[in-house]
């Protein structure tokens, strides 16, 4: 990794290349693509941050919102669903996590085959349609199946949306990718706010104390909730599809050999922003200054794209992530961190509502209303975490590594401390602290990961981290199947894993604050 700090430069083009060298680089292994990507980055910087990019900030934010909302949804409906169908609750989360894994892999590669635009416009639609269908589920098998399918849509949001946003945003505003995490926090908040009056209303939900006698007619709250959440996804999809006109990504078009269309999109974005662009087709063809001898080395067929995507995982692109002892150490720790947090976060979040309800019952105030009121409070506390993370990572004494370690350690500590609660208010207080620090943790994790991978192999590194995260996420409900959800066992496991992850964060050999990517 380069140890030279990033400095402001009076030449804007030089500054662009310092900050944006292969920011989103799944295809960076091809020299023609890499050279042309630099030219397009400079063209987008020339246009600047305008109305189109701010519109993208909103519509891609819908993807962040969905990414956090739907794992929360299954946690929010878990208690009333178990009461009605009388089944082992973790199976619902298992089905969902399998769908998330499939969605992340399918849509990520798919967006490079048939384009960003199609993937972007269909993921929320799939989520909404199958969520609405899930509201009418006759049994837990049908509900789990619908959850798995809607999760295939959810799983595609972050891979596709992050690509679209980064391929249109100018270098001077790439920090907004971190700020997009605020939508992630809003997803949890919105879900909790809607669940409170629906599932939390005793008129619509069975009480936790009466699971053997919980007919559908007395337990409609979770169904209403799914109808509202599914309807929300359809509204957000309609905004994407009918209101905001998404242009196909210039980098995708260029990668398919459609240079003229790529240039045309850049000029359309410039016009939308009331700006002009000097980019010409000839600029993309004249790539000799980037060390490319001739054009035509890039296979632009669908088969060629699939081959390049699969090639990201061969030895030639995995080995560079472990090229030196220090780099191998860093790569291994990052993958381990994503795996551990991928296990601990869903293990806790998926069952915290059920745990809060049973603890509340012990304290004598275990009504569904109190349970979901508390969930709303937790969600509100978590919202500022993403914004504060953006400030903390720039502090000299903390940086990315220190902020990640401290927030992760505090997250685990607060989870473990919550098991000592003897009053409902004490339990709520500990969980509020957890909600805040966990949002800080995730905000930093999403920022530090791509910074600590070498540029040309960053796509492969990100993919390995994401796969580890989803695979271990599948393990969370499997662990819960062998644990008593009314006990503190899942809480202890999740807290301990966060503590381990916090100490591992301190061992990261590179600090990326104020430094350029390699």
All structural domains of the chain with their residue ranges: 24-304, 312-513
Average pLDDT on 334-356 reads 78
Average pLDDT on 233-243 reads 94
What confidence score (pLDDT) does residue 14 get?
Answer: 38
Q: Which long-range contacts (CB under 8 A, 24 or more apart) does 430-433 make?
A: 431/352, 431/356, 431/374, 431/378, 432/377, 432/378, 432/381
Handedness of CA 45, 50, 52, 58 (dihedral sign): positive
User: Is pLDDT above 60 for 518?
Assistant: no
**Phi, psi for residue 397 in degrees, rounded to 5:** -80, -15
More confident residue, 115 or 263: 263
What confidence score (pLDDT) does residue 17 get?
Answer: 39
Q: What is the pLDDT of residues 265-320, one digit of tens each?
A: 999 999 999 998 888 888 887 764 333 334 445 555 556 655 665 555 555 557 76
More confident residue, 353 or 373: 373
CATH number for region 312-513? 1.20.1250.20
Are the C-beta atoms of 346 and 99 separated by less than 8 Å?
Answer: no
Of the chain, the percentage scoring pLDDT greater than 70 comes to 72
What confidence score (pLDDT) does residue 234 get?
Answer: 96
User: Is pLDDT above 90 for 43?
Assistant: no
The answer to whether domain 24-304 and domain 312-513 are alike in fold is: yes
What confidence score (pLDDT) does residue 416 get?
Answer: 87
How many CB atoms sit inside 10 A of residue 232's CB? 21
Angle at 438 between CA 340 and CA 177, to 5 degrees: 95
Are the C-beta atoms of 285 and 296 separated by less than 8 Å?
Answer: no
Which of 109-118, 275-284, 411-420, 439-448 has the weakest average pLDDT?
109-118
* CA pair distance 168, 52, nearest whole angstrom: 9
What confidence score (pLDDT) does residue 223 get?
Answer: 92
- Which homologous superfamily does the CATH classification assign to the domain defined by 24-304? MFS general substrate transporter like domains (1.20.1250.20)
**Phi, psi for residue 515 in degrees, rounded to 5:** -120, 150
Tokens representing 384 are 């500022």
* CA pair distance 306, 308, nearest whole angstrom: 5
DSSP-derived 3-state class of residue 115: coil
pLDDT band at 515 (very low <50, low <70, confident <90, very high): very low
User: Is pLDDT above 90 for 401?
Assistant: no
């Amino acid at each position: 990794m380069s140890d030279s700090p990033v400095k402001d430069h009076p030449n804007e083009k030089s500054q662009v290349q310092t900050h944006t060298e292969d920011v989103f680089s799944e295809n960076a292994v091809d020299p023609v693509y890499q050279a042309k990507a630099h030219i397009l980055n400079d063209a987008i910087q020339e246009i600047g941050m305008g109305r189109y990019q701010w519109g993208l900030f909103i519509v891609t934010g819908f993807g962040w919102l969905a990414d956090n909302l739907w794992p929360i949804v299954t946690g929010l409906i878990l208690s009333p669903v178990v009461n009605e169908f009388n089944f082992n609750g973790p199976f619902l989360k298992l089905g969902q996590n399998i769908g998330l894994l499939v969605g992340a892999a399918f849509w990520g590669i798919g967006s490079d085959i048939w384009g960003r635009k199609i993937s972007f416009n269909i993921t929320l639609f799939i989520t909404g349609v199958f969520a609405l269908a899930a509201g009418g589920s006759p049994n837990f098998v049908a509900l789990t199946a619908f959850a798995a399918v809607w999760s295939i849509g959810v799983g595609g949001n972050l891979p596709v949306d992050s690509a679209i946003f980064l391929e249109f945003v100018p270098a001077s505003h790439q920090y907004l990718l971190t700020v997009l995490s605020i939508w992630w926090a809003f997803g949890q908040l919105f879900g909790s706010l809607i669940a409170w009056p629906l599932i939390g209303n005793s008129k619509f939900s069975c009480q936790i104390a009466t699971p053997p006698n919980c007919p559908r007619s007395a337990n409609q709250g979770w169904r209403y909730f799914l109808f509202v959440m599914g309807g929300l996804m359809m509204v957000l999809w309609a905004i994407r599809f009918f209101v905001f006109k998404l242009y196909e990504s210039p980098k995708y078009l260029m990668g398919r050999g459609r240079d003229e269309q790529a240039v045309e999109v850049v000029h359309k974005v410039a016009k939308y922003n009331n700006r002009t662009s000097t980019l010409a087709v000839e600029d993309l063809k004249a790539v000799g200054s980037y060390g490319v001898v001739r054009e035509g080395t890039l296979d632009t067929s669908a088969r060629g794209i699939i081959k390049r995507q699969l090639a990201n995982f061969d030895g030639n692109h995995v080995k560079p992530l472990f090229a030196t002892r220090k780099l191998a150490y860093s790569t291994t720790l990052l993958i381990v961190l994503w795996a551990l947090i991928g296990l601990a976060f869903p293990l806790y979040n998926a069952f915290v509502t059920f745990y809060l309800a049973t603890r509340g019952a012990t304290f004598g105030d275990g009504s569904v209303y109190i349970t979901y009121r508390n969930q709303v409070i937790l969600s509100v506390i978590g919202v500022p975490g993403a914004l504060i993370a953006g400030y903390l990572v720039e502090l000299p004494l903390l940086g990315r590594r220190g902020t990640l370690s401290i927030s992760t350690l505090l997250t685990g500590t607060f989870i473990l401390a919550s098991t000592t609660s003897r009053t409902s208010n004490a339990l709520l207080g500990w969980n509020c602290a957890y909600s805040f620090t966990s949002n800080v943790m995730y905000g930093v994790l999403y920022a530090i990961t791509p910074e600590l991978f070498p540029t040309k192999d960053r796509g492969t590194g990100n993919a390995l981290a994401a796969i580890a995260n989803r695979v271990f996420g599948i393990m969370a409900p499997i662990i819960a199947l062998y644990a008593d959800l009314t006990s503190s066992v899942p809480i202890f496991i999740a807290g301990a894993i966060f503590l381990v992850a916090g100490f591992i964060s301190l061992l990261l050999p590179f600090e990326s604050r104020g430094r350029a990517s390699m």
